């Protein structure tokens, strides 16, 4: 095998696939990148048995071949080489020779025949949407995916198509994020829970463009296809939360407020509220709604803080406590200037949504305030 390529081209390919390299495994082959040539292209593949990524790039192929090389070592060497043309050759001793200007590296390799094949997916349902739109949808929901492995179904994000509308839903037991959009092309109804880890990597590969990404769903696998990149992942087993039954349909108190002003106040109050998760739970931020204003405050062993914002308010006065990080995550995901914050009681879920459109909803559970 012998190829010639430019650093920025191959580095883009490496950066796209390297996140599917296994970090803790008894199979050294899974710590590698499979490099395969095909006429005037090379294909880079990584697979940790849960998520697999393929990336195809154009380059000058002088001799055909395939090889597996340690992903971390290969990527770090390429990353640190000069911005120039790189010659990569598999020599007679099965060493991968990397040459660039005055630099010369030789890496040991592994047998490409031992690299596991990515699952062959028989797509049962598929949809297409703009890459930029999917990127936006993932950004607005992924932060609410659970990190608790004892509830594995919530470590993923629900992809649900119903009546030609795609909803992405993430929930971690304390909050919920929902982002929806209507699809351009007719699609069957289906649902699948995609691991949050996969979506984080897909989001890094997606471009903020109008070019489409195709999502294919089979019984236990999902496929994301975009440009010259393909991501294969398992689908999480289990029953996801019936989110429609937990999102309140009406409110007792509602405020309309400038999103940036509320976010800035929460960020400042958070300095007092807590420096750790345990303290956040012990000392929530109190949100008090009165006629035409909202007061955000916190008192603990560090000190106390209070900020007052003038708002448009409707309904009853209310006091409720919240984990400030959960509130901030929701506010940071909203792009619009004006938002609604809707309350039921001081122990029922609070909704945060745009005042301009209903594409997304954030639900946050309150924390009981101590007397």
**Pick from 54, 48, 44: nearest CA to 88:** 44
Beta strands in 83-211 (DSSP E): 85-90, 95-100, 103-110, 125-130, 156-162, 165-171, 175-182, 190-195
Q: What is the pLDDT of residue 59?
A: 93
Question: What is the CA angle 238-331-214, rounded to 5?
Answer: 50
Q: What is the pLDDT of residue 279?
A: 45
Six token digits for residue 76? 């770090």
Residue 265, H or E segment: helix 259-273
Alpha-carbon gap, residue 288 to 319, rounded angstroms = 4
Half-sphere exposure of residue 3, counting CA atoms within 13 Å on the CB side?
24
Q: What is the pLDDT of residue 280?
A: 45
| Helices within 19-126 (DSSP H only) | 71-80
Give 367's DSSP letter: B
Q: What is the pLDDT of residue 156?
A: 97
All CATH 3.10.150.10 domain ranges of the chain, comma separated, are: 2-114, 125-244, 253-364
Six token digits for residue 260? 């940036």
CATH code reported for the domain at 2-114: 3.10.150.10
Q: What is the pLDDT of residue 369?
A: 83
Which architecture, in CATH terms, is 253-364? Roll (3.10)
Helices 71-80 and 7-17: crossing angle, nearest 10°?
150
Residues lower than pLDDT 50 in the chain: 276-277, 279-281
Alpha-carbon gap, residue 306 to 308, rounded angstroms = 7
Beta carbons of 42 and 86 less than 8 angstroms apart? no
Q: What is the pLDDT of residue 276?
A: 46
Q: What is the pLDDT of residue 371?
A: 63
Give the domain 125-244 fold: DNA Polymerase III; Chain A, domain 2 (3.10.150)
Q: What is the pLDDT of residue 23?
A: 86
Alpha-carbon gap, residue 220 to 235, rounded angstroms = 5
């Amino acid at each position: 095998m012998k190829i010639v390529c430019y650093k920025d081209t191959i580095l883009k390919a490496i950066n796209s696939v390297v996140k599917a390299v296994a970090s803790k495994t008894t199979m050294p082959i899974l710590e590698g990148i499979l490099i395969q040539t095909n006429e005037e292209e090379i294909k880079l593949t990584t697979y940790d048995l849960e998520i697999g990524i393929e990336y195809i790039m154009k380059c000058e192929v002088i001799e055909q071949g395939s090889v597996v090389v340690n992903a971390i070592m290969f990527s770090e060497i390429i990353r640190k080489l000069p911005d120039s043309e790189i010659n990569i050759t598999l020599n007679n001793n099965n060493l991968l020779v990397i040459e660039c200007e005055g630099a010369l590296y030789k890496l040991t390799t592994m047998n490409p025949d031992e690299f596991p094949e990515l699952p062959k997916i028989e797509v049962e349902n598929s949809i297409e949407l703009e890459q930029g739109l999917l990127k936006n949808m993932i950004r607005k929901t992924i932060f609410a995916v659970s990190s608790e492995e004892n509830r594995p179904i919530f470590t993923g994000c629900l992809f649900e198509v119903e009546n030609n509308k795609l909803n992405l839903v993430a929930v971690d037991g304390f909050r919920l994020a929902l982002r929806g959009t209507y699809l351009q092309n007719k699609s069957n109804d289906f649902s699948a829970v995609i691991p949050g880890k996969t979506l984080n990597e897909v989001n890094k590969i997606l471009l903020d463009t109008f070019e489409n990404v195709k999502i294919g769903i089979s019984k236990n696998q999902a496929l994301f296809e975009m440009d010259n990149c393909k991501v294969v992942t398992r689908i999480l087993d289990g029953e996801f939360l019936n989110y429609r039954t937990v999102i309140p349909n009406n409110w007792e108190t509602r405020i309309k407020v400038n999103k940036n002003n509320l976010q800035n106040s929460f960020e400042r109050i958070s300095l007092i509220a807590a420096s750790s998760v345990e303290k956040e739970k012990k000392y929530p931020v109190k949100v008090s709604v009165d006629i035409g204003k909202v007061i955000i405050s916190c008192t603990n062993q560090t000190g106390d803080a209070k900020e007052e914002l003038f708002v448009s308010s409707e309904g009853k006065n209310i006091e409720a406590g919240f984990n400030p990080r959960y509130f901030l995550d929701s506010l940071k995901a909203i792009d619009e200037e004006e938002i609604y914050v809707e309350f039921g009681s001081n122990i029922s879920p609070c909704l945060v949504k745009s005042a301009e459109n209903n594409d997304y909803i954030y639900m946050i559970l309150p924390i009981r305030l101590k007397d």
